[in-house]
Every structure is written in C-alpha cells, then in structure tokens.
C-alpha cells in the first residue's frame, strides 16, 4: 500500500477521475434534456402538421364530392335541354304534317315550340353555370390537395427527425442530433409552405 505522498497523489488522481466522471455525467444529462426538449417540440409540430394534412384532404374530398354533385346537376340539365328540343321538334313535325295534309295548324303549336326554345335557353344557361361551378370546385380541391401534400411531407420529415433524435439520445451522438434538427428544419419549412399556398 502506498504511503505518504504517493497515497495523496493516488487520492488526487481518484478525485480528479471522479470529478471528470461527474462533469461528463452532468454534460450528458444536459445533452439528453436538450434532446428531449427539442424532440418534444418537433413532435408537437408534427402533430399540428398531421392535423392540417388531414383537414386539407378532408376539405378537398368534400369539394370533389360537391363538384361531382354539381356536375350531375349539369348533366341532368343537358338531358332536360335535349328533352325540350325533342318536344319542340315533334311539335314542329306535327305542324308540318298538318300543313302537308291541308289542315291549318293551331297557333298553340307555335306558342309551345317557342316556349320549349325559351326553356332550352334557360336550361342551357343553368347547365353551363353548373359546369363552371363544378370546375371551380375541382380547382379548389386540387389546390387543397397540393397543400395536403406539403403538410404530409412535412409530417414525414418531422417524424424522421423525432426518430433520429431518439437514436441520438440513446447513442449520445451529437452528429445524429444535428441531422435530426436538419430534418426538423426541412419539415418546418414545408409546414410553413403549406400555409403560404392558402386560397
């Protein structure tokens, strides 16, 4: 067993070693706290981005459904337009047949033909209006789907950042944590970009 100065030198080395270990443990705790805090913030941002992605895709689907319904109304209008045209053609044929047979046609035939043509014009305007409305809703839905993709890609990058942060915490690897922060920054940029695409 060492004596005197050797013992004191050994005690000093042990103290220094213990102090270094304490300091290293303290740095590790601070590093893990910092990783934990940044990971929690990234996870919150990912949750918000996921909500936005879901909301925009739901709104886009609703608009797509509305556009289909509006387009169906337009198709119905064009079917009515054709029916009115057929009725007008039948009455015109009746009038021509009566004239060919030497019978005077009723003035009501001309009034009915004229009414069918007016109704066709109204139906045509309404059907075109419905087509335009359906196109607008489709365009809005496409715009929302584009926003949805931005938010969805943002969620993906943010989730990758959370996973990389977990790996960094387990391995105490600062480089891995830096990569996770870069992924989080890219996800945040995409997330903010989704809002810049507002209607």
**Residue 25, pLDDT score:** 72
- Total-model pTM: 0.72
Write out pLDDT tens, residues 71-81.
999 999 999 99
All residue ranges of the chain with pLDDT < 70 are: 1-4, 7, 12, 14, 18, 198-199
Q: Centre a 10 Å sphere on the Cβ of residue 159 and count the other Cβ atoms it contains.
A: 17
The answer to whether 121 touches 85, Cβ cutoff 8 Å, is: no
Task: Report how far residue 86's alpha carbon sits from residue 12's, in angstroms, rounded to the nearest whole number.
Answer: 109
Write out pLDDT tens, residues 81-122.
999 999 999 999 998 988 888 888 888 989 999 999 999 999
**Residue 198, pLDDT score:** 62
**Residue 98, pLDDT score:** 87
Task: Report how far residue 164's alpha carbon sits from residue 170's, in angstroms, rounded to the nearest whole number.
Answer: 10
Task: Report how far residue 91's alpha carbon sits from residue 56's, in angstroms, rounded to the nearest whole number.
Answer: 52
Task: Report how far residue 35's alpha carbon sits from residue 31's, in angstroms, rounded to the nearest whole number.
Answer: 6
- DSSP 8-state class, residue 4: T
């Amino acid at each position: 067993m060492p004596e005197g100065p050797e013992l004191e030198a050994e005690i000093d080395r042990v103290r220094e070693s213990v102090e270094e270990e304490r300091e290293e443990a303290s740095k590790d705790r601070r590093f893990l706290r910092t990783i934990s805090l940044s990971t929690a913030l990234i996870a919150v941002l990912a949750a918000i981005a996921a909500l936005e992605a879901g909301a925009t895709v739901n709104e886009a689907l609703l608009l797509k459904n509305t556009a289909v319904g509006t387009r169906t109304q337009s198709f119905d209008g064009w079917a009515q337009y054709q029916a009115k045209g057929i009725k007008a053609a039948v009455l015109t044929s009746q009038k021509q047949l009566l004239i060919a047979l030497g019978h005077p046609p009723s003035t009501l035939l001309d009034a009915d033909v004229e009414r069918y043509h007016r109704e066709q014009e109204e139906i045509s305007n309404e059907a075109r209006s419905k087509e335009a409305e359906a196109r607008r809703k489709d365009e809005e839905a496409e715009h929302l789907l584009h926003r949805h993709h931005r938010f969805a890609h943002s969620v993906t990058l943010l989730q990758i950042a959370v996973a990389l942060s977990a790996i960094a915490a387990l391995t105490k690897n600062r480089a891995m944590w830096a990569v996770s922060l870069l992924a989080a920054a890219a996800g945040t940029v995409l997330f903010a970009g989704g809002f810049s695409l507002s209607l």
